[in-house]
Amino acid sequence: MGPPRRLLRSAAAPPEPVAADSDVVVVLASLLCGLICAVGLALVARCAWLRRAGGAGAAVRQKKGVKKKVLRALPRLTYRAAESPLAECAICLAEFEDGDEVRLLPQCAHAFHVSCVDVWLSSHSTCPSCRRVLAPPPPRCDQCEASCSKTAHDGDGPPFLP
C-alpha cells in the first residue's frame, strides 16, 4: 500500500499562488463598476439638462389640459366625405362619416372627433398625433369683436389695418 500513496501525493502537487490573477480581476471589476456609474451619471445629467432646456414651464403646460374657454374656441366642423374621403380619427381609429362633428386643431390642422379630442385635451395641451403644443387663440378685441391687436385701434374709432 505504500507506493499508491506516493503516487497520490506526487500527483497532488501544491497549487501555484494566483494572487496576481485575482488582483487583475479585482481591478477590472472596479473599472467596470466605475464605467457603469459614469454612464449612469451622464444619463441623469442629460435628462436634467433636457428638462431645463425645454423649460420647466413648458413641461408643466404640456401635462396640464387646456382651459374650457380655449377648448370652446377651437373650430368645429361637420365632416363631409366628398371633401376628404380617406380620413379617420387618430384617437378612436374610426373613419369619419358624413355628419360627424370634427374638431380641427389650428396649429397642425389635424382633425379628430369632437368627443374624442375633448377628452384628450382635458388632460393634455398637445395634439394627440404630432404632440405640438396648442397655443391659446389670440384675445378677442372688445371694440370690434374680432381677433386683432388692441394697439391697432386709433382712439375710439374703428380699427385700422397695420
Q: Would you list the DSSP string of 124-154?
A: -SB-TTT-PBPPPPPPBPTTTSSB--GGGB-
Q: What is the largest CA-CA distance in the chain?
A: 127
pLDDT at position 43 is 93
Kindly state whether residues 48 and 109 are assigned to the same domain: no
Kindly state whether residues 126 and 157 are assigned to the same domain: yes
CA distance 1 to 54: 85
pLDDT exceeds cutoff 50 at 158: no
Mean pLDDT for the chain? 76
User: What would the pLDDT profile of 117-150 be if each residue is shown by its tens digit?
Assistant: 999 998 888 899 998 888 755 566 666 655 555 5
Backbone angles phi, psi at 125, to 5 degrees: -120, 30
Range with lowest mean pLDDT among 3-7, 55-59, 78-82? 55-59
User: Pick from 151, 132, 135: which is nearest to 143 by CA?
Assistant: 151
Kindly state whether residues 154 and 89 are assigned to the same domain: yes
Kindly state whether residues 78 and 137 are assigned to the same domain: yes
Give the mean pLDDT of 84-91: 83
The H-or-E segment that residue 76 falls in is: strand 76-78
Kindly state whether residues 36 and 114 are assigned to the same domain: no
pLDDT exceeds cutoff 80 at 103: yes
| Domain of 38, in residue numbers | 19-54
**At 115, is the secondary structure helix, strand, or coil?**
helix
Residue 124 lies in a domain: yes
Residue 5 lies in a domain: no
Which span out of 39-48, 57-66, 79-88, 136-145 was modeled with the highest average pLDDT?
39-48
Kindly state whether residues 43 and 77 are assigned to the same domain: no
Q: What's the CATH code of the domain at 162? A: 3.30.40.10
Q: Which residues are CB-contacts of 90 (< 8 A; sequence separation ≥ 6)?
A: 110, 112, 128, 129
**At 104, is the secondary structure helix, strand, or coil?**
strand
Band of pLDDT at residue 61, cut at 50, 70 and 90: very low
Query: What pTM value is reported for the model?
Result: 0.47
Kindly state whether residues 92 and 158 are assigned to the same domain: yes
Label each residue of 10-64 as H, E or C. HHCCCCCCCHHHHHHHHHHHHHHHHHHHHHHHHHHHHHHHHHHHHCHHHHHHHHC
Kindly state whether residues 26 and 90 are assigned to the same domain: no
Task: Give percent of the chain with pLDDT exceeding 70.
Answer: 64
pLDDT at position 149 is 52
User: Domain total for the chain?
Assistant: 2
